[in-house]
């Protein structure tokens, strides 16, 4: 009896606790946006949201319009779905709308990392220095050397150039992850291996092992972020975290060559601030995650869209050949490897447009801010809404703008030149309700949390495609196979992944 009573008491306490945490006792105030609490009041819409975020938010947008609040887990989330009004969120001062609280909680739960006081300032300063401008020249060079080490290995040469058949997603993600990882976290030192060739071989093997461990973590990630892993998955995620902490540890990094300024400096800042080394190791995993989880999947979609759209493929091949010609380079048997520089990558407007179009269709982050004080959201149509301290404000640009047919006619079709003007320059004029949009494509987020790696990531995508088209003939195993669907469990986390892989063949051209 005693134990039954205890169970009932525990149940009662946890239900009351859950109700409290889930916020079902709160009241809305006049002027607040419409609230949608879901079929079971205390559960809100959390299950529906998690199952298919895009579908759910699209349904809410159709039901409530430009602004609505949804009870999700412990919080009221107010979603803004009018892109003309995004500025009132992304440009708001941090004293009113802050992202750090939210990000710190997630990072502690998912990566076991406890943040520094000035965390974000350090990240921004070092990203500006090393992932943009002059820093990008160095990173482009490092990326190119590593891409060529991985791409041109075991592909034959001379008369022996067999077709290699594999999954396009597995291939693209693998190559881009490994080259990006080596470019940022450095190479095996040839001083320890004796020769450069041996060091390159170790780079290939080691980065491949790391990729497959990364993929395991990647697949657990959506449930991990929502805090709903089963017991065995939890054990696996703990094991994987330890693998990454050890592989990327400050101690092991000391013996590597060519570590990027980005990684080096951020480690140094933490050491200078007195952060313990085990916590610095955890931060290294966080950097790996932020830098390698999105670009590989995006590279897959880009190459797939090109392979499924011959007109796009031809235009970009012509552009690539033109840029090579202009720099006096030619891919030929026994010839030197391509020297692809940052400058060359600034002369590819058609590829730029195809990258932007790919991200429009396949990058779908949720941008979230914590409301730090009672405040008013001013909508573009002049209406004002009161938002309470402790709530959350969120934007899901994918349904709000990226696939809005009014902004992008035929929104689910890949049009490689959608972001080109008739004179061939970058198109930035997109309209809704007759008004020009400032925020028309947001794969990188916006405002202070906008992805600091966006220029490097764009370069990585362009380098990968540039080299693939220059070195290889490519074809889909079944050219009529449909483009796979999007794995809906990952809405909100950045680059989307396909529901299944698609087989392709590639073979050296020279």
Q: What tokens appear for 209 in the block?
A: 């092992």
Q: Which of 456, 471, 472, 504 binds ligand HEM (CB under 6 A)?
A: 456
Q: What tokens appear for 154 in the block?
A: 């075991």
Name the strand (E) or helix (H) holding 386. strand 384-387
Q: Which of 23, 445, 492, 498 binds ligand HEM (CB under 6 A)?
A: 445
Contacts with ligand HEM by CB under 6 A: the residue count is 24
Convert residues 267-296 into a mask of x (bound to ligand HEM by CB under 6 A) and - (unbound): -----------------------xx--xx-
| Rounded CA separation 344/29 (Å) | 56
**277-292 and 261-272 helices cross at what angle (nearest 10)?**
150
Backbone φ and ψ for 474, nearest 5 degrees, come out as: -130, 145
Contact status, residue 130 vs residue 262, Cβ threshold 8 Å = yes
Residues 6+ apart with CB under 8 A from 499: 484, 485, 486, 487
Does the footprint of ligand HEM cover residue 186 (CB under 6 A)? no
| Rounded CA separation 397/57 (Å) | 11
Which residues are paired to 473 by β-bridges? 507
Does the footprint of ligand HEM cover residue 120 (CB under 6 A)? yes
Determine if residue 322 is labeled as part of a ligand binding site.
Answer: no
3 state SS of 370: strand
Positions in 61-100 near ligand HEM (CB under 6 A)? none
Residues 6+ apart with CB under 8 A from 193: 199, 202
Q: DSSP assignment, residue 395?
A: E
- C-alpha triplet 383, 377, 400: angle, nearest 5°: 85
| Rounded CA separation 128/240 (Å) | 30
Q: DSSP assignment, residue 483?
A: P
Name the strand (E) or helix (H) holding 165. strand 164-167
Least Å distance between CB 402 and ligand HEM? 12
Least Å distance between CB 180 and ligand HEM? 6
Interface stretch with ligand HEM, choices 59-67, 225-233, 251-259, 440-448 (CB under 6 A): 440-448
| Rounded CA separation 391/44 (Å) | 14
Does the footprint of ligand HEM cover residue 300 (CB under 6 A)? no
Interface stretch with ligand HEM, choices 25-33, 35-43, 147-155, 444-452 (CB under 6 A): 444-452
Determine if residue 294 is labeled as part of a ligand binding site.
Answer: yes
| Rounded CA separation 379/81 (Å) | 10
Closer of 123 and 467 to ligand HEM (Cβ)? 123
Is 235 exposed, middle or buried (CB count within 10 Å of its CB: 0-12, 13-18, 19+)? exposed
Residues 6+ apart with CB under 8 A from 321: none
Q: DSSP assignment, residue 449?
A: G
Does the footprint of ligand HEM cover residue 304 (CB under 6 A)? no
Interface stretch with ligand HEM, choices 222-230, 400-408, 433-441, 450-458 (CB under 6 A): 450-458
Does the footprint of ligand HEM cover residue 494 (CB under 6 A)? yes
Determine if residue 109 is labeled as part of a ligand binding site.
Answer: yes
Interface stretch with ligand HEM, choices 207-215, 314-322, 420-428, 442-450 (CB under 6 A): 442-450
Does the footprint of ligand HEM cover residue 44 (CB under 6 A)? no
Least Å distance between CB 453 and ligand HEM? 2
Least Å distance between CB 466 and ligand HEM? 16
Convert residues 362-401 into a mask of x (bound to ligand HEM by CB under 6 A) and - (unbound): -x-x-x----------------------------------
Least Å distance between CB 359 and ligand HEM? 6
Does the footprint of ligand HEM cover residue 449 (CB under 6 A)? yes
Determine if residue 392 is labeled as part of a ligand binding site.
Answer: yes
Least Å distance between CB 52 and ligand HEM? 19
Binding-site residue set for substrate: 109, 294, 392
Binding-site residue set for heme: 451
In the complex, which residues of this chain contact ligand HEM (CB under 6 A)?
103, 120, 123, 131, 290-291, 294-295, 298, 363, 365, 367, 443-445, 449-453, 456-457, 494-495
Binding-site residue set: 109, 294, 392, 451
């Amino acid at each position: 009896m005693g134990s039954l009573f205890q169970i009932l008491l525990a149940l009662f306490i946890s239900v009351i606790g859950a109700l409290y945490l889930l916020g079902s006792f709160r009241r809305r105030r006049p002027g607040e946006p419409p609230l949608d609490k879901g079929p079971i009041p205390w559960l809100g819409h959390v299950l529906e949201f998690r199952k298919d975020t895009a579908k759910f938010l699209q349904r809410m947008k159709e039901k409530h319009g430009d602004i609505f609040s949804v009870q999700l887990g412990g919080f009221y989330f107010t979603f803004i779905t009018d892109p003309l009004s995004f500025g009132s969120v992304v440009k708001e001062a941090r004293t009113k709308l802050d992202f750090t609280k939210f990000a710190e909680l997630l990072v502690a739960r998912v990566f076991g990392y406890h943040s520094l006081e000035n965390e974000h300032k350090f990240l921004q300063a070092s990203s500006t220095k090393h992932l943009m401008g002059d820093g990008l020249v160095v990173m482009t060079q490092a990326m190119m050397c590593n891409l060529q080490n991985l791409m041109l290995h075991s592909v034959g040469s001379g008369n022996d150039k067999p077709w290699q058949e594999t999954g396009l997603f597995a291939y693209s993600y693998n190559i881009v992850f490994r080259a990006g990882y080596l470019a940022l976290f450095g190479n095996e030192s040839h001083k320890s291996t004796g020769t450069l060739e041996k060091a390159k071989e170790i780079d290939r093997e080691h980065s491949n092992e790391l990729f497959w461990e990364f993929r395991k973590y990647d697949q657990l990630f959506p449930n991990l972020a929502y805090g709903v892993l089963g017991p065995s998955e939890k054990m696996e995620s703990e094991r994987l975290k330890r693998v990454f902490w050890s592989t990327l540890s400050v101690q092991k990094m000391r013996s590597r060559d060519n570590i990027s300024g980005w990684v080096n400096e951020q480690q140094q800042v933490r050491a200078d601030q007195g952060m313990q080394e085990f916590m610095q190791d955890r931060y290294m995993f966080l950097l790996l995650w932020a830098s390698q989880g999105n670009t590989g999947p995006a590279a897959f979609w880009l190459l797939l869209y090109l392979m499924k759209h011959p007109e796009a493929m031809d235009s970009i091949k012509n552009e690539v050949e033109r840029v090579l010609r202009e720099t006096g380079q030619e891919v030929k048997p026994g010839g030197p490897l391509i020297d692809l520089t940052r400058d060359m990558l600034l002369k590819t407007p058609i590829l730029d447009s195809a990258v932007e179009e790919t991200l429009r269709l396949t990058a779908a982050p949720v941008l979230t801010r914590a409301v730090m004080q009672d405040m008013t959201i001013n909508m573009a149509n002049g209406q004002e809404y009161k938002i309470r301290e402790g709530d959350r404000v969120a934007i899901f640009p994918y349904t709000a703008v990226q696939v809005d047919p009014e902004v992008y006619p035929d929104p689910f079709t890949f049009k490689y030149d959608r972001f080109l003007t008739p004179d061939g320059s970058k198109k930035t004029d997109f309209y809704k309700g007759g008004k020009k949009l400032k925020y028309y494509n947001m794969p990188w987020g916006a405002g202070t949390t906008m992805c600091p790696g966006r220029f490097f990531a764009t370069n990585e995508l362009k380098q990968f495609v540039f080299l693939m088209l220059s070195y290889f003939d490519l074809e889909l195993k079944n050219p009529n196979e449909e483009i796979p669907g999007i794995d809906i469990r990952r809405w909100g986390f950045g680059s989307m992944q396909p529901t299944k892989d698609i087989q392709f063949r590639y073979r050296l051209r020279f």
